[in-house]
Structure 1
Amino acid sequence: MKNISILGATGSVGTQTLDVLKKEREKFKLIAISGNKNYEKLIAIIEDFNPKYVAVSDKSTYKKVKAYCVEQNKKSEVLEGMKGLIQISTLNEVDIVVTSIVGMIGLIPTLEAIKAGKDIALANKETLVTGGQLVMSEAKKNNVNILPVDSEHSAIFQCLQGNDINSIDKILLTASGGPFRGKKKEDLFNIKPEEAIKHPNWNMGRKISIDSSTLINKGLEVIEAHWLFNIDYKNIQVLIHPESVIHSMVEYKDGSVIAQLSAADMRLPIQYALNYPSRENNLIEKLDFYKIKSLTFKKPDFVTFRGLNLAYEAGKQGGIMPTILNAANELAVELFLQEKISYLKIIDIIEECMNKFENTNQINLHAILETEKDVKRFIKHKYNV
């Protein structure tokens, strides 16, 4: 039996991880979870799984959860803030830490989990976007497996099994194109948050859905792929694939292309990561190839969705620039969801910050965290928020 800790258990990926654990209770034990403000979901997980530890980031929610556990005589120990996140990431009894928490907040506990020798089921792309050099170095030093949970990176990982990574010619990273596929810039002036979060194929959280609509999400995945698979940016190609049946492909030096296909359901990459290297009975609906009418591919519109270009640029520059990109995007998306800026302003703010802040190749945790603060402070001051 493998013991699991989930960072971000109340979010989209966290919830689907719990679905996998429910179907395979004989193989997994949920030791610890974290959440932020979703009190109801946290209580439901406590009732269903009885985890030993519950870490809560939001102070008022922490107090409510702790009070509930005392009143109901629950044995879960309730922890608070970053200290709690680190504690549940480094528990001696935990085998795998699922990092599904959204944003740069996931970087510190992920690094601590790696240093503690825990395998990582990685669904927090910001961890590699901002700290890829640190994370992969620590993983190698501590002999830790980084098992990708993003559907695209899981697909690449699966396509690599049994093959020499040095024989890769190209990674083909697929993207649905989001809700605004085929639109031009003039069509996007008055987009509202409720329109941008309506992803055509996937059920995701609000922030990731916005990122998908701007193609920034795909740009972050390009940077993530670079670090996960040690592939040069010129060998990572994004393809718009509206059907979301092929989740990504690997092209080898001999011209062979291996693809991973499945239904658009995050439970498959989660299940694969948790059970790796084994494959278990399916939890998702299997593909019916008689019903698949076509599989289409297009080049991304780098003009309308220029955020993808900015991500490539940030990745190629390296150093602290991906952190600048990510921090600007995190806050800009938050402001858009609060309707304090327009949809197109998200990318404008990212570009502005990439031009304003100087890059440096002196990368350490302190530099990453300070850069995040500086970028967000600049945006808040300029836009009076």
Structure 2
Amino acid sequence: MAEAAKAGALVLPVDSEHNAIFQCLPRAYRHTVMGQFARESSTVTGGRYPWNVAAVTLTASGGPFLNTPIEMLTQVTPTQAARHPNWSMGRKISIDSSTMMNKALELIEACVYFSLPPSAVRIVIHPQSIVHSLVEFEDKSVLAQMAVADMRVPIANALAYPERIASGAATLDLAEIGSLDFLAPDTERFPCLNIARTVASAGGNGPIVLNAANEVAVDEFCAGKIRFTDIVPIVVETIERMPFADISGIEQVLEADGKARGWPRKCRADMNYDGQGD
């Protein structure tokens, strides 16, 4: 983002949650954060963020196991974990939704993209996946972006910005939906959310290690070598084993990513777990 700012470039978000935040922000704020000034220009002044933004909220469906007893999660198979209740996505990202690691990564992404501290990025469970994100302002007004769960909506917004074009998505019918539910996330069920806040606060190579370790752990789960409930503990152990390092360029990014990918399999070997079939 700093390089984009130096070049005066406008980086448009396509991820549905971050695109939703982008749409809710004042136009001047969008251009300040995304392209006109370096990230340092968005630091907190007098307890306020630029243009009186108080916080942003990312919504999450909760995945297919939102109401599954925690003790049953050890029996989850890759096929079950890849069945997202609302979105049509690939296997890996669907499994990330089941652990809510996708939301953990989106929290880090929001901190970087919008120059916000982790404390200003909230997460709420919204099973219907109709409200995609919300922005709260200092006067306590809250703006939300709503649409059917269809990636064509944020893609169309990014392609046409600052104009609007037809996305091909269905019209949102609130009367047909009837009600919208919002729940606080259970961090015992979804421990990666707190891990992401810690990693985002520390910065450095932490987010890279988190992402790399998760990718390998999910691969191990899909191969039947670890349980569903082993994914996050393996990620945590990898983060703990990897020494902290500052990141100053792409070379350090690739180095951290490469080193992190070796640890999950070592952790799995230490666990002495034979895995399970699908």
Normalising by the smaller structure, the TM-score range is 0.7 to 0.9
* 2:23 alignment counterpart: 158
* 1:149 alignment counterpart: 14
* 2:154 alignment counterpart: 269
* 1:187 alignment counterpart: 72
More RCO (CA 8 Å, sep 6+)? 2
**1:190 aligned partner, one-letter code:** Q
**2:230 aligned partner, one-letter code:** K
Q: How much has 1:378 moved relative to structure 2?
A: 2.5
TM-score by length of 1: 0.63
Alignment of 1:12-91 (within 5 A): none
Q: Residue 245 of structure 1 contacts residue 263 of structure 1 at CA under 8 Å; is this kept in 2? A: yes
**2:163 aligned partner, one-letter code:** S
Identity over aligned residues, as a percent? 43
**1:146 aligned partner, one-letter code:** V
The structure that is strand-richer by fraction is 1
Aligned length: 250
Q: Residue 320 of structure 1 contacts residue 363 of structure 1 at CA under 8 Å; is this kept in 2? A: no
TM-score by length of 2: 0.86
* 1:120 alignment counterpart: none
Q: Does 1:199 align with 2:84?
A: yes
Q: Does 1:280 align with 2:165?
A: yes
Q: How much has 1:263 moved relative to structure 2?
A: 0.6
- What is the distance in 1 between the residues matched to 2:135 and 2:159? 22
Q: Residue 152 of structure 2 contacts residue 167 of structure 2 at CA under 8 Å; is this kept in 1? A: no
Alignment of 1:206-285 (within 5 A): 206-285=91-170
- What is the distance in 2 between the residues matched to 1:311 and 1:201? 24
Q: How much has 1:146 moved relative to structure 2?
A: 1.2
Q: How much has 1:163 moved relative to structure 2?
A: 5.8
Gaps (5+ residues) in structure 1? 1-135
**2:168 aligned partner, one-letter code:** L
Once the two structures are superposed, residues 324-347 of structure 1 have per-residue CA deviations (whole angstroms, 9 ceiling, x without a partner) of 111100100111111111111110
Q: Does 1:342 align with 2:227?
A: yes
* 1:127 alignment counterpart: none
Once the two structures are superposed, residues 138-188 of structure 1 have per-residue CA deviations (whole angstroms, 9 ceiling, x without a partner) of 111222221111111110000014364431001011101011112343120
Alignment of 1:317-356 (within 5 A): 317-356=202-241
- What is the distance in 2 between the residues matched to 1:382 and 1:224? 27
* 2:34 alignment counterpart: none
SS at match of 2:261: helix
* 1:140 alignment counterpart: 5
Q: Does 1:300 align with 2:172?
A: no
Q: How much has 1:289 moved relative to structure 2?
A: 2.1
Q: Does 1:169 align with 2:28?
A: no
**2:21 aligned partner, one-letter code:** I
Larger of the two Rg values belongs to structure: 1
